[in-house]
Homo-oligomer: A and B are copies of this chain.
Amino acid sequence: MHITASKLVDALGERGYRITMARRAVCEVVAAAHDEHLSAADIYQRARETSGTRLDRSTVYRTLEALEDAGLLAHSHLGHGPSVYHLAEDAGHQHLICRNCGQTMTLPREEADLIADAIIASTGFVADLNHFAVSGLCADCAALDDI
């Protein structure tokens, strides 16, 4: 099951954050977008559309920061573009982004966990895979071998 917008809002409330229209709007968008890779700009645009409210980019950033602080949301850096946000519960996988075609895919959680375990065993470093993507060539582009 996926977390609902009201759960996000409630969690913010419990953390001492005030519940406002702007925050509600951002929570709706974020909750509705499970699995999608939304940039701050995407969230801003959708939040404006769904809630006719007047809403500023900076408010979106501040709300996303609050959600991250509350441990409900996380952002990843997929490539050279803007950061993308996703629910914390959707985390744990590793993003793979093809430097040739730009396609992004994911490495399943179990695989990612194996890698994280290997890194811990060898260095003691507790890796938070999925914060940064891994760049490379997808199977299709690698097959072209003329990159």
Chain A interfacial positions (CB closer than 8 Å to B): 77, 96, 98-99, 105, 107-108, 111, 114-115, 118-119, 122-129, 131-139, 142
Contact = CB atoms under 8 A, between A and B. Distances in A.
Given A131-B135, A132-B132, A135-B131, A96 B119 contact: yes
Given A134-B129, A134-B132, A107 B122 contact: yes
- Which 9 A-B pairs rank lowest in CB-CB distance, beginning with the nearest? A124-B139, A131-B135, A132-B132, A127-B136, A128-B136, A126-B142, A126-B137, A96-B125, A128-B135
Contacts of A136: 119, 125-128, 131
Contacts of A107: 119, 122-123, 125
Contacts of A123: 96, 105, 107, 139
